[in-house]
Amino acid sequence: MSSMTDLVFLLLIFFMLTSTLVTTSALDVILPKSKAQTVKKATVTVTIDKELNLSVNDDVVSLGQLENAILVAAASEPEAVIVLRVDETVPTGETVRVIDIAYRHDIKMVLATDPTIR
C-alpha cells in the first residue's frame, strides 16, 4: 500500500514541476482581467499584442495571412478550438475580425483572460 502512495506522490510532484515549465506565447500580451479561467484546451492559439502584431500558434502572420493560417492550424482537429489571446489595449474591432473568421468557418472560440483580479 505504501508503494502506491509513493507512486502517486511522485506523479504529483512530476506534474507540478512540468506544468511550471510550459511557455505561453511568442508575443507578450497583457490579458484582460476576469474571475473566469480558460477551460478549453487550445487547438489553435491566436494572439494579438498591443502593436497589433498577429500570431497563430507562435508563428507571426500578417492580417492577410491570418484566415489561411487559422484554417491550416485547425484542419488537423475536427473539434478545433481557438483560444484568442488579446492585449487589453487592442481595439475591439481587431478582436472582432478574428472572431468573425472563426464564426464563418464554424470554429469554436474561447477568449483568454488573466484570472488574477487586482
* Identity of the amino acid at 28: D
Centre a 10 Å sphere on the Cβ of residue 29 and count the other Cβ atoms it contains.
Answer: 21
> What contacts 77, CB < 8 A, 6 or more positions away?
43
Residue 100: half-sphere exposure toward Cβ, Cα within 13 Å = 7
Give the pLDDT of residue 29.
56
Tens-place pLDDT, residues 46-69: 899 888 899 988 889 988 888 999
So what's the pLDDT on residue 12?
A: 87
What SS3 class is residue 48? strand
Residue type, 69: A
d(CA 65, CA 71): 10
Q: Quick: pLDDT tens for 79-107.
A: 888 888 888 888 888 888 888 888 898 88
Residues 80 and 43: beta-carbon distance below 8 Å: yes
* Class level of CATH domain 25-111: alpha beta
